[in-house]
């Protein structure tokens, strides 16, 4: 029988640290760029170190395939989201939502309304980046007309865009976080509310205070140009509300995410045919390539040039390589070795939740959001399960520590995108991304107080036992009995 040499703790961390080093070099020293290639080199490093410890290539290849297989549902959702965004622009729903948001602008309450508008669009479209690159650009111009400092406007845009992205069933990071810990998408979103909604309300209040002390009269030329161009290229009709209403109804009825989102695609295609007179050829091209605007106005063309299957290839490839990396770390025993070192040190609820949060934040500083979600999701899921806590606690921690911190880190993909799109340095707008900061603080506060930290119920425990991707420690499924005596016993929430 082929003998396997378990990794030392240093050997278990080695492929992770080396991969993070490659990512950091690319992001901070080599001028940036997509993280895909450094992660592929990380996969090669992990496979090489695993083979030196006796792992056969065939076994590692099988583990990589299984890891990718577990991400097929979330990749399917991402592809469907690409279809949805394209059809929602073609049918006029996204332009209608944009005009609705712009109609709410008021000089006195510009910052809170800007934040709320971005949240509404991001929630319904499911993309923080798309919201920043479209409505965010328009709001930045309007804010400058009001003499409101650009960092304040950018911070309000980021708060709203990432709030909506985090709670949207169409979001890539939201779907990925739920998938990494093996929890239901809508259960994950419900458990995000205790940190996300209070943080958002506190941010709106803070923006209201800031807004009353800044700004002047509104020069709405930018808004007027955007409105006139959209009205000349789209027919606005009450049926434009149908596609988001269908997706919302599917979510309320707890229809699984993929068919629920696809129902929005069908509704969007139907409305495009009925209201905008879109041909079948135009619809099929939009579904594949996204909407191709030709308004002649660069700001409007930037707003509309979105969606389609091809628009999702970047994130699908990133999910693909990240899952291979995480699966290989698991197959070669690296995660199990790190887990065994962690499990005897996290002797309290606060330590467990804080360790997961700080690890997520730290990895996000050093790498990118999908590597962070993949590695920490696989690493901490068995520990949360072993302590009897529902997986939604970990998925929320991944979102608060990872998704929300991404636009606040200058060299992270989120921070780079916002800065390059809005032209405001990350370190200048980050202090004004108030909802992001408040949510992170609330996450740690709840961990300390034992609030909104639900235990796993019988249904979830049964699901864990059916899950073929659970981590094992020394050949046995990690359960509460496998933990040191009295671990968490005095702190468990009823």
Its pTM stands at 0.67
Residues in a beta bridge with 240 = none
Helix or strand (DSSP H, E) at 476: strand 476-477
Q: Residue 118 CA to chain centroid, in angstroms?
A: 16
Question: Block means of pLDDT (10 residues each) for the chain, length 494 residues?
Answer: 75 86 73 77 92 89 83 77 85 81 71 89 76 72 74 93 86 83 86 93 92 63 78 90 84 76 90 93 93 81 79 79 81 78 74 87 72 80 82 91 87 72 82 94 92 82 61 39 38 36
User: What tokens does 210 get?
Assistant: 């800031």
Q: Residue 455 CA to chain centroid, in angstroms?
A: 24
Q: How high is the pLDDT of residue 77?
A: 75
DSSP labels, 96-138: HHHHHHHHT--STTHHHHHHHHHHHHHHHH--HHHHIIIIIHH
If phi over 0 gives left and psi between -120 and 50 gives alpha, with beta otherwise, what is residue 26?
A: alpha
Domain boundaries, the chain: 73-312
Calpha distance 39→318 (Å, rounded): 9
Q: How high is the pLDDT of residue 485?
A: 37
The backbone torsions φ and ψ at residue 183, rounded to the nearest 5 degrees and listed phi first, read: -115, 160
Helix or strand (DSSP H, E) at 407: none
The backbone torsions φ and ψ at residue 3, rounded to the nearest 5 degrees and listed phi first, read: -90, 140
Q: How far apart, in Å, do the first and last CA atoms of the chain sit?
A: 47
Calpha distance 483→472 (Å, rounded): 13
Specify the DSSP class assigned to residue 455.
B
Tens digit of pLDDT for each residue in 291-341?
A: 888 888 776 787 677 778 888 787 788 778 877 887 888 788 887 787 677
Q: How high is the pLDDT of residue 480?
A: 37
Helix or strand (DSSP H, E) at 402: none
The backbone torsions φ and ψ at residue 472, rounded to the nearest 5 degrees and listed phi first, read: -120, 150
The backbone torsions φ and ψ at residue 388, rounded to the nearest 5 degrees and listed phi first, read: 85, 10
Q: How high is the pLDDT of residue 473?
A: 39
């Amino acid at each position: 029988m082929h003998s396997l040499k378990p990794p030392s703790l240093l050997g278990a961390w080695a492929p992770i640290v080396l991969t993070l080093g490659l990512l950091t070099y690319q992001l901070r020293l080599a001028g940036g760029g997509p993280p895909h290639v450094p992660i592929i080199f990380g996969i090669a490093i992990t496979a090489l170190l695993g083979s030196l410890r006796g792992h056969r290539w065939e076994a590692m290849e099988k583990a990589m395939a299984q890891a990718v297989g577990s991400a097929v549902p979330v990749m399917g959702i991402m592809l469907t989201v690409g279809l949805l965004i394209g059809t929602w622009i073609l049918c006029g729903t996204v332009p209608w939502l944009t005009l609705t948001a712009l109609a709410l602008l008021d000089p006195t309450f510009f910052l809170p309304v800007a934040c709320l508008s971005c949240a509404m669009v991001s929630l319904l479209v499911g993309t923080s980046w798309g919201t920043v690159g479209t409505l965010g650009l328009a709001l930045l111009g309007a804010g400058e007309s009001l003499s409101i400092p650009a960092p304040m406007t950018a911070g309000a845009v980021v708060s709203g865009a990432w709030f909506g992205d985090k709670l949207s069933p169409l979001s890539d990071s939201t779907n990925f976080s739920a998938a990494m810990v093996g929890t239901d998408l809508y259960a994950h979103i419900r458990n995000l509310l205790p940190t996300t909604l209070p943080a958002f309300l506190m941010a709106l209040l803070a923006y209201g205070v800031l807004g009353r002390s800044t700004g002047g009269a509104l020069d709405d030329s930018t808004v007027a140009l955007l409105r006139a161009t959209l009205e000349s290229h789209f027919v606005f009709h009450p049926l434009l509300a149908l596609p988001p209403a269908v997706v919302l109804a599917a979510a309320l009825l707890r229809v699984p995410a993929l068919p629920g989102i696809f129902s929005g695609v069908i509704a969007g295609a139907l409305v495009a045919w009925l209201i905008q007179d879109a041909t079948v050829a135009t619809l099929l091209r939009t579904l594949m390539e996204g909407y191709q605007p030709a308004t002649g106005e660069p700001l409007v063309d930037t707003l509309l040039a979105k969606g389609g299957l091809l628009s999702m290839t970047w994130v699908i490839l990133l999910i693909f390589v990240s899952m291979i990396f995480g699966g290989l770390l698991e197959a070669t025993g690296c995660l199990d070795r790190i887990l065994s070192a962690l499990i005897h040190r996290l002797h309290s609820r606060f330590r467990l939740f804080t360790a997961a949060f700080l690890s997520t934040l730290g990895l996000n500083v050093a790498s990118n959001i999908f590597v962070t979600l993949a590695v920490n999701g696989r690493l901490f899921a068995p520990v949360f399960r072993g302590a009897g806590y529902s997986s939604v606690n970990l998925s929320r921690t991944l979102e608060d520590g990872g998704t929300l911190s991404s636009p606040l880190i200058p060299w992270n993909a989120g921070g780079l995108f916002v800065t390059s799109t809005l032209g405001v340095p990350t370190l200048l707008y980050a202090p004004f991304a108030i909802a992001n900061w408040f949510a992170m603080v609330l996450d740690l506060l709840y961990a300390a107080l034992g609030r909104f930290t639900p235990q796993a119920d019988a249904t979830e425990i049964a699901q864990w036992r059916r899950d073929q991707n659970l981590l094992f420690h020394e050949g046995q499924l990690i359960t509460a009995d496998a933990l040191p005596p009295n671990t968490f016993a005095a702190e468990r929430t009823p």
